[in-house]
Structure 1
Amino acid sequence: MCGIVGIFDTHGTRDIDRAALHRMNESQHHRGPDEGELYTEKALGMGHRRLSVIDLATGQQPLFNADRSVVIVYNGEIYNYRELMAELKGMGHVFQTKSDTEVVLQSWLAWGPDCVHRLKGMFAFGIWDRNQQTMFLARDHVGIKPMFYSLLPTGYFVFGSELKSIMTHPELSRELNVQAVEDFFAYGYVPDPKTIFHNAYKLQPGHRILLKVGDKAVRQEKWWDVSFQPQQTAQSEADIERELIDRLRASVQSQMVAEVPLGAFLSGGVDSSAVVAMMAQQDGPVVNTCSIGFNDPEFDETKYAQQVAQRYNTVHHAQIVDNDDYGLIDTLARLYDEPFADSSAIPTYRVCQLARQRVTVALSGDGGDENFAGYRRYRYAMAEQSVRDKLPAGLRKPLFGALGKWYPKADWAPRVFRAKTTFEALARDLVEGYFHGVSIMPDRVRAELFSDKFKASLQGYRAIDVMQEHAANTDAEDPLSVIQYLDFKTWLPGGILTKVDRASMAHSLEVRVPILDHTLVEWAAGLPAHLKLHGGEGKYIFKQALRPHLSEDILFRSKRGFSIPLASWFRGPLKQTVRDTVLSPLLLDTGLFNERYLRHMVEQHESGMKDYSAALWSVLMFATFLRVSAYQ
């Protein structure tokens, strides 16, 4: 696992500022503390920070072909690199190393831009081909590894593994992207391809860029997408369960290749427990597992992790952390480089910190909920959709629209009386309802939060536009598959994978996600929806298949997630911090916000009348981003 950077002169004539390239590279030293190299030639500079995992002796980068006409910087792991190396050798390609990096390079020489279709793994890379006068960038199927870029006004193209790397370049403006601000306060992150800055972008998952000398524009091209077209199969449910385990076991086995210590995260939930079960059934050393617990029993699940560890005889490391672990706020803002409001980034940071004390590579269970419909919100969304299907839109929209408008938002009341959000969702269509359900601040709250000036600057743009654009591109035919697809395009890369990548690389830890092997993703997407969400049970087929491998209380207990007690923090130890930050001149002077509503949220939350913890956390993280970033 590594960090990569590059500067490319699209004019093809100018020298590269080596000092600027060095600053870019060193800004992400944490991604690769083992080695760091730079390479420059006319119109090109590339840099690399290395975390050595495979081919420790000869895997240095930037890496060249034999005549040094092609050079690559690469971040990731290709799990089928040995098979590809054998195929390429059979085609006459000569290898100088045993690294997967050179496999990617030789794949470019063999197949050009279509080389990405041959790669199985997680990756983001840049290749300069002097003979073709071409810069090629690509990102893996689901977005496990990141890539940021910008085409500067002077014609220089810069790219890097983290936003901070390209933001070190003096020509890149710090102007905020107003659409990204709207997106952040709806989603809690900035969805691809935008970043929080106006002229900086993310390369989207399953996309590539082919940039030639003389090009005046950068165009992302989609090379892969997940299809939810149903599989034509006569398999029984038992056959599907067996195939699921075979595929999961094969994916885990392929991702256990490393020349450094390897282990796994073990939360005690279904997904991480499934990965550990598959690891423990492989030939090899005893599995190292790591888990984080909390000193508040309401948020602690270490007993379930311990149960799995005992069953599979892992070398288990557990650490109990203080529930008031809020000293990481500034650290998180620096890690993520742009506003990021998933509070589970705190325990994720801690479990990565713990794991790195024992291993260099850790396998994670991320992706199970997206693949097999495990989130509670899928169940709620399908229940709402069943009501929509029973009522014509001409009746449903005015009826539930009126109920949603006039019903009070009663966070303090018993759940049965808190129907405002449900009424609002039922007045919408599937995509609008799902967006409404996942938003950390719904439309009516953002309308109050933002200033009139800021709302005018959006010129009609709405955060839901992101989901509507993706929904228009899916081939999914049933409602559950549609919203799974939306998560694959938004929440998974923008939230989950971003959180894990930055938290792990802050500790120079490589995290692999076998449940997101793209062939497993493709297979799972084609399963019938009723095998994923069945009788109100999410991940139905996944859990049934795992019954021989995990206990009933691991498989079927209520899902908790990696939660922290924000609501009590903001009424207790962080009360004054929240008030001072949310109402600070730094935030108010941006002109983005309605001071009256900010004050309303603080006071209503402090009093216990309403729970604004998620909204206040997002404002707190936005303000902290402004304070610690290079924003001007």
Structure 2
Amino acid sequence: MCGITGIFDTRGVGDVPRATLHRMNESQRHRGPVEGDLYFEPGLGFGHRRLSIIDLATGQQPLFNEDGSVVVVFNGEIYNYQDLIPELQALGHVFHTRSDTEVIVHAWEAWGENCVSRFRGMFAFALWDRNQQVLFLARDRLAIKPLYYALLDDGSFVFGSELKSLLAHGGLKRDMDPLAVEEYFALGYVAEPRTIFHQARKLPPAHTLLVRRGQPIPEPKAYWDLHFSLDNPMGVEDASAELQHRLQESIRLRMIAEVPLGAFLSGGVDSSAVVATMAGLSSGPVNTCSIAFDDPAFNESEFAKMVADRYQTNHHVETVRSDDFDLIDTLARLYDEPYADSSAIPTYRVCELARKHVTVALSGDGGDEGFGGYRRYRMHLMEDRMRSSMPIGLRQPLFRTLGRLYPKADWAPRMFRAKTTFEGMARSSVEAYFHSVSIMRGPMREQLFSDRFKTELAGYTAQEVFEHHAAKANTDDPLALIQYLDIKTYLVGDINTKVDRASMAHSLEVREPLLDHELLEWLATLPSSIKIKGQEGKYLLKKAMEPLLPNDVLYRPKMGFSVPLARWFRGPLRQRVRDAVLGPRLAATGWFNKRYLEHLVEAHESGASDYSAPIWTLLMFEAFLRNVAEPTAALHDVAEGAAA
């Protein structure tokens, strides 16, 4: 696992400043503390920081083909590289290392841009072909590994694993994109391909970008998509057996490493399934890591212990205190963009714990999206059945009226919180799902933003992100549609971003076997009826795991990996919230309605409403402004990182 960065002169072959590329590379030192190197030729510079996992002795980068005309910097793992080597050797290619990185340069020579379709893994890489004078960037199918890029005013094309490497260049403008701000306050993250800064972009998942010197930067090109055919006639029993086999294959590939390896074990179904399968494939005890919370309402450690005891793992547990909120500024600097998933705190802590014992950890990320595990899926399906049973001409006016009149009752038992359901019933399926996953829903954002900011948005709403992906989903199955939307948005922008930054902050490689693209392709052929059955989410995964895991782990209510925000904001963080949300930084942007900010803070403090999620979103935005967006502070942090 590594950090990559580079500078490409799109206009000519001027010298790339060594000091600038060094600064960019060192800003990502945490991603690869083992070693780093720079490569230069006229008009081009590549930087690489390495965390050695495979081929410890000869896998250094940048890495070249036989005659040195093709060079690559690579972040990630190509899990099927051992299968590709003999195929490439048969085509006449000579290998000088045992690393998966060298497969990339020879695959490029053999198959060109289509080489990415042959790779099974998580990856982001940049490749320079001197003979063709092209720079080729690629990102894996599920965007497990990040890749940012920008075209600067001087014609320099810069890229990096993290946005901080582009900021370290010094030429990237910090002008913020209002559309990205709208997306952040709706979703809690800035959706691909946008970034918080106008000038920078994320390479979308399953896309490549081919840049030729002297030509305009083209749009990225897609090379893969997930198609929900739902046409596999396989029953639950046969599908369970097939799933066990496919999980074993995916996990076996991800257990290839020359360094200590283990797994996260939360006590949930997904991580428990990974650990149980690993135990069956391993000759010795599996290393497992869990975080416990001193607040019983958030603590799953007893269920993790059940699995650890059953498989006699080398189990490591650390307790996180319920007031572990010291990471706010650390997270703002780590993510480089506004990022509002508060589970980043325990994720950071479990990665910190794991790195004390292993260099590679397997996780259960992606299980909810692939197997249909989120509670919101079941609610959406129920609403969708009701939507389809009523003519739109009757449904929309009726439920719009009920949604407007029914009080918001966060304090009431869930069964009485009908306002959201009524509002959802008046919408289309995509609009309703966007509404349900939004941190701050449309009416809240309408009150949150100032008139000036709404003018800058020019009518844009983050719902357009969902509409864009829904148009490509190619399915009218209600579960498949929202799974597809989550795989394109929440999984990429939230889950994978969270895990990559938290793990790389501690120089830990995390591998996600449930996000194997071949596994997801197979799951997408199965009918939705065996993913959610009645009120049971992940039905197929649970049936497949019944021989391997206790029922108390499989069939208990889903808990989640969360922190007690509501209590923090009425207690120890009360003054910090006031200082941040009502302070000068947010006010100086001119983007927010001061009276509504005061309402959010005061209504939450009094207990009249639970505005913990919107307040956390504002708190993290203020932390981003203070730690990243302001040039003096940001450059100071980069300089400190390079010096360290």
Shorter chain as denominator, the TM-score bin is: over 0.9
Where structure 2 has 5 or more consecutive residues not aligned to the other structure, the ranges are 632-644
Alignment-derived partner of residue 635 in structure 2: none
Tell which deviates more after alignment, 431-440 or 470-479: 470-479
Structure 2 partner of 1:367: 366
CA apart distance, 1:416: 2.8
Return the alpha-carbon distance in structure 2 between the equivalents of residues 295 and 138 of structure 1.
43
Please, which runs of 5 or more residues in structure 1 have no aligned partner?
A: none
1:423 corresponds to: 422
Letter in 2 for 1:162: E
1:513-540 residue CA offsets vs partner (Å, 9 max, x unmatched):
0010110011111110111111111111
Deviations 1:486-539 (A, max 9, x none): 001000010000000000000000000001011001111111011111111111
Residue type of the alignment partner of 2:183: D
Once residues 55 and 106 of structure 1 are traced to their aligned partners in structure 2, the CA distance between those partners, rounded to angstroms, is: 17
* Residue in structure 2 matched with residue 67 of structure 1 by the alignment: 67
| C-alpha distance after superposition, 1:154-175 (max 9, x if no partner) | 2111000001011112221000
Q: Distance in 2 between matches of 1:413 and 1:260?
A: 51
Match of 1:619 in 2: 618
Shift of 1:406: 1.7
Secondary structure, counterpart of 1:431 in structure 2:
helix
Match of 1:447 in 2: 446
User: Alpha-carbon deviations, 1:565-620, whole Å to 9, x = none?
Assistant: 00010001101110111011011110010000000000000000000000000000
**Which deviates more from structure 2 when the two are superposed, residues 622-631 or residues 33-42?**
622-631
Q: Determine helix, strand or coil for the equivalent of 1:125.
A: strand
Q: Look up the equivalent residue of 1:294 and give its one-letter code.
A: F
Once the two structures are superposed, residues 65-95 of structure 1 have per-residue CA deviations (whole angstroms, 9 ceiling, x without a partner) of 1211110000000110111011111111100
Deviations 1:96-116, CA, capped at 9 Å, x for gaps: 111000011111111010000
| Distance apart, 1:630 and its partner CA | 3.7
Q: Distance in 2 between matches of 1:470 and 1:561?
A: 26
CA contact under 8 A between 1:175 and 1:631: conserved in structure 2?
A: no
Distance in 2 of aligned mates of 1:86 and 1:284: 28
Aligned counterpart, 2:239: 240
Deviation of 1:214 (Å): 1.3
* Contact 1:476 1:482 survives alignment (8 Å): yes
Partner of 2:376 in structure 1?
Answer: 377
Contact 1:208-1:220 at 8 Å conserved across structures: yes
Structure 1 position 412, deviation (Å): 2.1
Residue number in structure 2 paired with 1:605: 604
Which whole-Å CA distance do the structure 2 matches of 1:536 and 1:21 have between them?
54
Aligned residue number for residue 9 of structure 2? 9
Matching residue of 2:317:
318
Partner of 2:637: none
Q: Aligned residue for 2:640? A: none
**Match of 1:343?**
342
Report the counterpart of residue 638 of structure 2 in structure 1.
none
**Aligned mates of 1:357, 1:139 — CA distance in 2:** 29
Q: Which residue of 2 aligns with 1:578?
A: 577
Q: Which residue of 2 aligns with 1:219?
A: 219
Hey, what's the Cα distance between the residues in 1 that align with 2:428 and 2:628? 38
Return the letter of the residue paired with 1:368.
G
Distance 2:171 2:296 in 1: 50
Residue 195 of structure 1, CA deviation: 0.6
Cα distance in 1 for partners of 2:527, 2:66 equals 49
Q: Is the 8 A contact 2:450 2:590 kept in 1?
A: yes
Q: Is the 8 A contact 2:234 2:526 kept in 1?
A: no
Write the distance in 1 (CA, Å) between the matches of 2:401 and 2:162.
45
Secondary structure of 1:629 counterpart: helix
Aligned-pair distance for 1:234? 3.8
How much has 1:435 moved relative to structure 2? Answer: 0.4
Q: Is the 8 A contact 2:13 2:44 kept in 1?
A: no
Q: Say yes or no: does 1:109 pair with 2:109.
A: yes
Deviates more, 1:212-221 or 1:349-358: 212-221
CA drift of 1:631 comes to 3.1
Q: Which amino acid aligns with 1:106?
A: H
Q: Which amino acid aligns with 2:311?
A: Y
- Offset from partner CA, 1:224-245 (integer Å, 9 cap, x none): 11111123x4433211110011
In 2: Cα distance, 1:185 partner to 1:41 partner = 43
- Three-state SS of the structure 1 residue aligned to 2:122 is strand
| 1:17 Cα deviation from its structure 2 partner | 1.3
Partner of residue 436, structure 2: 437
Asked if 1:266 is matched to 2:296, the reply is no
What is residue 642 of structure 2 aligned with on the other side?
none
Q: Secondary structure at the match of 2:385?
A: helix
Residues of 1 paired with 2:579 and 2:156: CA distance?
Answer: 41
Aligned partner of 1:156: which letter?
S
State the distance in 2 between where 1:205 and 1:350 align. 27
**Could you say what secondary structure the match of 1:362 adopts?**
strand
Q: List aligned pairs for 1:107-146, cutoff 5 A.
A: 107-146=107-146
Match of 1:174 in 2: 174
Counterpart CA distance in 2 for 1:146 and 1:582 is: 30
Question: Post-superposition shift, 1:153?
Answer: 1.9
Partner Cα separation in structure 2 for residue 237 and residue 302 of structure 1: 30
Give the letter for the 2:106 counterpart.
Q
1:185 aligned partner = 185
Cα shift at 1:284: 2.5
SS in 1 for 2:536: coil
- Maintained 8 Å contact 1:36/1:50: yes
Query: C-alpha separation between the residues in 1 aligned to 2:215 and 2:479?
Result: 41
Q: Deviations over 1:425-459 (max 9, x none)?
A: 11001000000000000000000000000001001
Distance 1:9 1:41 in 2: 11
Higher mean alpha-carbon deviation, 354-363 vs 418-427, is at 418-427
Relative to the length of structure 1, the TM-score reads: 0.99
Q: Identity over the aligned pairs, expressed in percent?
A: 62
**1-structure distance, mates of 2:152, 2:528:** 45
In the other structure, the counterpart of 2:549 is: 550
Q: What is residue 327 of structure 1 aligned with on the other side?
A: 326
Q: How does 1:42-61 map to 2 (within 5 A)?
A: 42-61=42-61
The answer to whether the 8 Å contact 1:267/1:302 transfers is yes
User: Is the Cα–Cα contact under 8 Å of residues 328 and 346 in structure 1 kept in the other structure?
Assistant: yes
* Mapping for residues 519-558 of structure 1, pairs under 5 Å: 519-558=518-557
Shifted more, 363-372 versus 213-222: the winner is 213-222
Q: Shift of residue 185 of structure 1?
A: 0.2
Q: Secondary structure at the match of 2:589?
A: coil
Counterpart amino acid of residue 56 in structure 2 = L
Give the conservation status (yes or no) of the 8 Å contact 2:48–2:62: yes
Look up the equivalent residue of 1:540 and give its one-letter code: Y
Residues 149 and 201 in structure 1, CA contact (< 8 A), matched pair in contact too? yes
Per the TM alignment, residue 279 of structure 1 is displaced from its structure 2 partner at its CA by: 0.4
Partner Cα distance (2:415, 2:251) in 1 = 42
| 1:283-304 deviation digits (Å, cap 9, x = unpaired) | 4221000000100111101000
Alignment RMSD (CA, Å):
0.8
Contact 1:228 1:477 in 2 (8 A): no
Give 1:196's aligned amino acid. Answer: I
2-side partners of 1:236 and 1:466: how far apart?
A: 35
Which amino acid is 2:571 matched to? G
Deviation at 1:417, TM superposition (A): 2.5
Q: For the residues of structure 1 that align with 2:167 and 2:233, how far apart are their CA atoms?
A: 53
How far apart in 1 are the matches of 2:15 and 2:466? 42
Give the corresponding residue for 1:256. 255
Q: Does residue 289 of structure 1 match 2:288?
A: yes
Question: SS state of the match for residue 281, structure 1?
Answer: helix
**Where do 1:77-92 residues align within 5 Å?**
77-92=77-92
Aligned position for 1:36: 36
| Aligned partners of 1:59 and 1:98 also within 8 Å | yes
Instruction: State how far apart, in whole Å, the 1-side matches of 2:359 and 2:402 are.
Output: 54
CA distance in 2, matches of 1:528, 1:547: 20
C-alpha deviation, 1:208, in angstroms: 0.4
